Amino acid sequence: MTKKNIIKIAGSVIVIAAVAGLILPRILGGGKEEIVAEVPPVVTVVKPENRTIEVSSELIGTVEPDSIVYVTPLGSGEVTSVNVQTGDMVTAGQLICVIDTKQVESSRIAAETARISYEDAKKNLDRYTVLYQAGDVAEADYQSLVDKVQLAKLQYDNAKIAYNIQLESSQVTAPIAGRVESLNIKVHDMVSPQTNLCVISGEGGKAVTFYVPERIVNGLKTGDSIRVEKNGTERAATITEVSTMIDQTSGLFKVKASVPDGNTLATGTSVKLYVISQRADNVMSVPVDSVYYEGGNPFVYTYADGKLKKNAVTVGLSDDNFAEIKEGIGAGDQVVATWTSELYDGSVVTLADETKDEKQAADKTASDATAETEGTTAETSGSVQ
């Protein structure tokens, strides 16, 4: 056997021995349990942040004109003419209807009678003025005539005012410009100051009226923005009125909001409303999923020095994402934001960031070892040849 053949056989023996070293332990140890070390649970932590938390409520409202007037007469009587129809556009001061109050004529007569009395008293005073200046009328008598003229003037002025009021009462005019939404009278109807003659909606946008309980009304104020939704389209609205008195019919508080671009909303239809019913500004908060409850009492886990601490907390306002923490933890605490069944007070855990760093380091070590092994194998193969 030559020296060259001996070297080849020796190389083959080395390769077979290396393969056997890898395979035999697996064959021989196939029937034994593999011992696995217990791995601490991996958790993610966050720090509390200050933010504004808002709670929105969905309500139903009714569309109505932004400005609306219910027209009623000043006096009672029979309607003698109606000058508008439902849907008509009217201007301020336009004649709506005429009412025969039966008092217009009597007021006119009273005013005319007062005028005649005043003019007669004035003429009589003029005649006595000449005599008074000539010294033929006593001072007291002349002053009495002057007083009578002044009284007659006051009575005439008062009669004219009463007549004008009755005249205005018989001619009902539109107090604002807008659309006649409803008309409730016709010729020959008898009306009184309690009769609603018609409803006029002012020109401009629309409004929404809705009712809320005390829990919500306390969080609303004039100027607040709300959202109005109809048929999938949303519009912005602004609260203009918040009642402080309970509506006797509904037992709720009435609220009104203006919808500037709501001209396409039909009066009387229902819409969805979204209002901010509760709000907490610039409060310390954590993710709502970080808060756990035990026996109805809230708590959170915080992380420090590789272990968890269970902290009883006081929770304030919460929305779908965050919960206000009033007390129990500080702004610098690391709050656990993940949940596993292995969490308890004092449990040893690993932070997700640390696990990531360890994995990257292990991957780098394995990569370096693989590169070194490949280099050694290449050198061995070259030697064997």
Confidence band of 37 (pLDDT split at 50, 70, 90): very low
pLDDT at 4 over 60: no
Q: For 206-229, what is each residue's pLDDT tens digit?
A: 899 999 998 888 888 899 899 999
Q: How far apart are CA 284 and CA 52, in angstroms?
A: 9
- The model's confidence at residue 255, banded by pLDDT at 50, 70 and 90, is very high
Question: How far apart (Å, rounded) are the C-alpha atoms in residues 132 and 139?
Answer: 8
Give yes or no for a contact between 165 and 103, defined as CB atoms under 8 angstroms apart: no
- Judged by DSSP in three states, 190 sits in strand
Give domain limits for the chain: 45-51+282-352, 57-68+201-279, 69-191
Rounded distance, CA 224 to CA 226, Å?
Answer: 7
- Please give the Cα distance from 293 to 297 (Å, whole number): 5
Give per-residue pLDDT as tens, 157-167.
Answer: 998 888 887 77
Are the C-beta atoms of 227 and 273 separated by less than 8 Å? yes
Single pTM value for the model? 0.48
Cα–Cα distance between 170 and 80 in angstroms, integer?
9
Q: Which CATH class, in words, describes the domain spanning 45-51+282-352?
A: mainly beta
**pLDDT, tens digit (0-9, with 9 covering 90-100), for 122-147:** 988 888 888 878 788 888 888 888 89
Q: Which CATH architecture has domain 57-68+201-279?
A: Beta Barrel (2.40)
Phi, psi of 171 (to 5 degrees): -120, 100
> Average pLDDT, stretch 105-134?
86
Please return the burial class of 27, using the count of CB atoms within 10 Å of its CB with bins 0-12, 13-18 and 19+: exposed
By the 10 Å C-beta count (0-12 exposed, 13-18 middle, 19+ buried), 195 is classed as middle
